[in-house]
Amino acid sequence: MNMSNELKNEWLPKFQRRYAQRNREGKSRMLDEFCEDYGYERKYAIKILSDHLPAPTGRKPPGPERQFTVIEPVVRHLWLSAEQPCGKRLQPVLHQWLPFYERRYGRLPWARRRLIRQISPASLDRLLAPARAEYPGRGRCGTKPGSLLKTEIPIRTSNWDLTQPGYLEADTVAHCGGTLAGEFIWSITFTDIFSGWTEGRAVWNKGAAGVVSATTDMEKGLPFALLGFDCDNGSEFLNHHLWGDLAQRQLPVAFTRSRPYKKNDNAYVEQKNWTWPRQLLGYSRLEDATQVSVISAIYKEVWGPLQNFFLPCLKLKAKWREGSRWHKSYHPPRTAYERLRDPGISSRKTLRQLRDLYESLDPLALKDDLEKRLRGVLRPQTKERLLGNPKL
């Protein structure tokens, strides 16, 4: 039978008190009788009999002990400073950045340092789940097909030699806001396939002269020689200016292009379009020509060192198919600087220069400098991204 409201109001508190006083076996027998007499499902009976009862004392809550909550402020601050990486990339960031954090905010207790070094990527993702930001959707494509040199510039049909750095992929990103009409700033991203070393420059309207100038300036800052240059089929790259500068040198650079409408041919640089231009400058429209040099300086002096020396990236190790599913395996996250330090990759002179540059940098100072410079670039209505002092 169904319990009437009057009977429920009169007898339910008594049932709840009796249920709370019984042991496990007694509760089970009481549930059997309660469900048989009143026709309730067992789970529902447990719910109404356990409702409004004080939590049992002297018992630990189910699940593992929540030991990492005490380090959440430090982890959150470093996560924000490192541009919100996933747990797998954040774990080596915590190990590398912790000395810089303690240098600025004071030494942490030994127990908290131990927890920071022990926390796993999955635990980091769970710990930071409430703090994760929501990012906007995809941007608009601004590639205009270039057909002038398609017969001279071959399509890359095989992988380059990936045992040494120097083979770059290039792509452009439009800072056009909601429309491609008019004039605005473009970002060019250059990524080395072997090491992941990435550089960026800003140009006005992605004209041929500006692209050549940006490419030349980028090449001067590379810690290795430029051996290959691969791009999409946009007219900003497929023109006589850039082709003449790269392919017609005394020691020519291998100049290739991807297949039309095949973005995965430039996968290494395509995946950097988020972590470089979009994560830094967002999707707003940048139409002040005087900011081109400012943005290029940010890429060259702040964003590049921060990304290449202190923010590790994942690199695909193997990919295989089982039935209808693809499986992927990745190398441990490493920075581009760490990959260039592998034996036999860079010369002693280059290693010494990179080491001196690394020892002169502070990731938290770079982050502060970045926020200061971005104030004059981003729109006034853009939400300020400055971090507070999270000292514990």
Res. 123: pLDDT tops 50: yes
Res. 375: pLDDT tops 60: yes
Quick one: average pLDDT of 59-76? 76
Q: How confident is the model at residue 209 (pLDDT cuts 50, 70, 90)?
A: confident
Which pTM does this prediction carry? 0.72
Task: Give residue limits of the domains in the chain.
Answer: 5-50, 68-131, 167-297
Residue 130 DSSP SS3 = helix
The Cβ of residue 113 has, within 10 Å, a number of other Cβ atoms equal to 15
The C-alpha atoms of residue 45 and residue 220 are separated, in whole angstroms, by: 74
* CATH label, 167-297, candidates 3.30.1280.10, 3.30.70.580, 3.20.20.220, 3.30.420.10: 3.30.420.10
Per-residue burial over 70-94, b = 16 or more CB atoms within 10 Å of its CB, e = otherwise: ebbebbbbbbbbbbebebbbbbbbb
Mean pLDDT of the chain: 82
Res. 63: pLDDT tops 70: no
Residue 5 DSSP SS3 = helix
Dump pLDDT digits (tens) for 257-316: 888 777 777 888 888 888 888 888 888 888 888 999 999 999 999 999 999 999 998 888
- CA atoms 90, 95, 100, 103: torsion sign: positive
* pLDDT at residue number 78: 92
Query: Which range is most confident: 1-15, 65-79, 135-149?
Result: 65-79
| Segment among 32-46, 110-124, 138-152 with least mean pLDDT | 138-152
